[in-house]
Amino acid sequence: MSLETWLLFVAVSLVPAVSPGPGVMLAIHNTLKYGRNATLASATGNALGLVIIGFAVAFGFGALMAASAAAFTVLKLVGAAYLIYLGLKVWRDRSSFAAVEQGGPKRKSYKALFTQALFVSVTNPKAILVITALFPQFMSHHGFRLDQTVILSLTYAALCWANHAAIAFAGNSVRRFLNSDRRLTITRRITGTLFMGFGAALATASR
């Protein structure tokens, strides 16, 4: 892959990498509730999920999803159910977005945050659609190429990781803004609604 082609891929990928989606909303939630390092852990899980999707697309996953109604239905229903579950949890949990003190009993481990973000990533309808549509345009049409797959997958994952890291480092400023119960409630309900909306959109998506 030439440098010019790679730079074009970076330019085209910037908008979907930073645009709102389940991964971004999860990063915002983790930043406000658990802090910077927790979000960096979840960002890494999200990035790994994107790499997995990238390799799956390179191996023909996109063609499988287009050809197999059963595979597409199973994937979308699992992902939709999990996103709706997260949305309901955020909506109902009054402690959502309220900062958890270091070492507090409700603090999630970095491993749990990593695993949660990984699962959200690999079932993320936005990520699947973007990678399935975008990657083939920058890959050789002469079969699987490991080098191209690695470059494209790691590049897109790195762009998304950087976006989540920016959210993590902006966390203190956002926390100062959300210093009232009313603002926390509004933020919690908006985020919960968005998660459920993403899930509903995925459940009703067609091939």
Residue 48, number of CB atoms within 10 A of its CB: 17
pTM for this predicted structure: 0.70
Q: Please, which pLDDT band fits residue 205 given cuts at 50, 70 and 90?
A: low
- The size of the chain, in residues, is 207
End-to-end C-alpha distance for the chain, whole angstroms: 30
Is 90 exceeded by the pLDDT of residue 44?
Answer: yes
d(CA 40, CA 30): 9
Please give the Cα distance from 184 to 178 (Å, whole number).
6
Percent of the chain's residues with pLDDT above 70: 72
- Give per-residue pLDDT as tens, 79-99: 677 777 777 877 776 665 555
Residue 62, pLDDT > 70, answer no
* Residue bearing tokens 């659609």: 129
The answer to whether residues 116 and 42 touch, using CB atoms and an 8 Å cutoff, is yes
CA 143 to chain centre: 28
Residue 40 pLDDT > 90: yes
What pLDDT, in 10s, does the model give residues 105-150? 456 789 999 999 999 898 887 788 778 777 877 776 655 678 888 9
Structural domain boundaries in the chain: 3-10+22-203
Predicted confidence (pLDDT) per residue in 144-192, tens digit = 678 888 999 999 999 999 999 998 998 777 767 666 677 767 777 777 7
